[in-house]
Structure 1
């Protein structure tokens, strides 16, 4: 049993067999093989309309063609409808067509039938007597018993039905809330706005942009207003999904997703340049900033921040270890690096022991370019340093 092409599922004239994937049975009943409890449970879970998924009543029926002496006959679409005495037409949902064999089967007898017949074993294809045989089968006792068993199974409620329903409703509730939370976080992140204020209390004018935007949305969103009325300002130990903890978790997840997309773009572009610099944060820990520059498949130049990395030594060897660590974590091949841009410090740009030299030992094609911003800063400092004492006192800039 193999899986069906998407095109075959959508094409009513396709004679391809609707075959199963690794987890679901075929929608061609002739391909089921032996009927197991798992197969029965699978179609029972699909509900009372499950036979329609296997009916193939809009197929061309080319495989059903049979030769009787000199005459050729095939399945008629009219067989899928039953005419009542009052003139009404009722669909025969139990009758299913197999595109692989060209035969028709009884869906219910195939799954739950106890008395073997052509409708539940090899399939029926006597089109000359098809109307009479189909009418005979649908009023037979074994068929009625199989249909009643099918209805009993599909309409039966699980013992934990109410619990499952409650779980689904609870899941849907929190999912709707998190949609709103995520949109607020995306809005603030895209614009580089701060999240937290001096306190974290709903109703306070100093609670920051994150809680403030949620309060604003709640004025026009009854769902969010009701949730905040019920859960806001309840403190630790109460689940509300509005706290800074949830906010920071979503920021981290979004950051991971964005980083993965940047890495994917760089890998597709193959060649890249890297920009590295360090600066201390508020905790006085040096953070190594790693930026990549690359050309997209559409020919656009992008410069993307990729990662912060704490460093505790500024030697060329230590910085080289930090850079290779980032490259390994992001699965970027250093052999594809075609440019490096650092400041003019000896630990970065040194031709013997600097970071630049260590990388060029591995990849000579990674050309070093001095950082223009650092170079401009050095020029400014040098220019000011050339001023004499008289010029500094008079405010003139230039040589004495």
Structure 2
């Protein structure tokens, strides 16, 4: 509870923060808030949940007539709009405490779909790493499942579909729903290869920087036009600079 002041620094009573019920029990007006910047009080729930134009200063620009504030607050708290907005606020606060501010079924469905795609991508990345590690071709002449000459990656998908429930569901979606975004095409393969290559390069550069000495094999390191000693030195120097080695 904050004791209000007007813009001239005059202090006012905080009695209007408390309501006395018919049985003489006292309760706080939780919905009443004071702005130290504006020197005004507001009805929090009406300010947040009000529909349409403001009907009073308490749910609009704020109230600062401190000599009549108690009367105005009492009138406001029994109004239909205030009671409706207060109920909305109480309901929202309850759902926030229960972490149920959005539809629970839809939220669970979203999480399930998110986890599904995560599992699909993890498997595709594992396939890309396997094929790249063993220097195997990714694609054939056709990019369709269960077609001849469709390449190694789709072939591995077809094999896993017999055993892995995630891939089985993914293939089912592709075949029955005509799934357009399935992450099995050449574009995503190339992107994953590039991302993995970049991470491998970063790790190699890190290890090289930590080493006291290292050697370079030029015949498989770069394509060069000038094979003289100076030409090899110059292009190696430029490459090391581009990698942040020098």
Q: What is the TM-score of this pair, normalised by structure 2? A: 0.53
1:276 to 2:218 alignment: yes
Task: With a CA cutoff of 8 Å and minimum separation of 6, indicate the structure with the bigger relative contact order.
Answer: 2
Render the CA deviation track for 1:63-115: whole Å, top value 9, x for unaligned: xxxxxxxxxxxxxxxxxxxxxxxxxxxxxxxxxxxxxxxxxxxxxxxxx9x9x
Shift, 1:181, TM fit: 0.7
SS in 2 for 1:157: coil
The structure with the larger Rg is: 1
More strand by share: 1
Aligned mates of 2:175, 2:225 — CA distance in 1: 42
C-alpha change, 1:163 and 1:312, in structure 2 (3 Å) is farther
Q: Provide structure 2 residue ranges, at least 5 long, that are not aligned to the other structure.
A: 1-29, 33-90
The answer (yes or no) to whether the contact 1:232–1:240 under 8 Å persists in 2 is no
C-alpha change, 1:332 and 1:270, in structure 2 (3 Å) is farther
Give the corresponding residue for 1:207: 150
Shift, 1:312, TM fit: 5.7
Aligned mates of 2:103, 2:227 — CA distance in 1: 62
C-alpha change, 1:165 and 1:318, in structure 2 (3 Å) is farther
Map 1:1-400 onto structure 2 (within 5 A): 153-155=96-98, 157-159=100-102, 165-231=108-174, 238-277=180-219, 289-290=220-221, 309=222, 311=224, 319-333=232-246
More helix by share: 2
Q: Provide structure 1 residue ranges, at least 5 long, that are not aligned to the other structure.
A: 1-111, 115-147, 278-288, 291-308, 334-400
C-alpha change, 1:234 and 1:244, in structure 2 (3 Å) is farther
Aligned mates of 1:313, 1:163 — CA distance in 2: 63
Q: What is the TM-score of this pair, normalised by structure 1? A: 0.34
Aligned residues: 160
Render the CA deviation track for 1:137-170: whole Å, top value 9, x for unaligned: xxxxxxxxxxx99755312632576665554333
Render the CA deviation track for 1:379-398: whole Å, top value 9, x for unaligned: xxxxxxxxxxxxxxxxxxxx
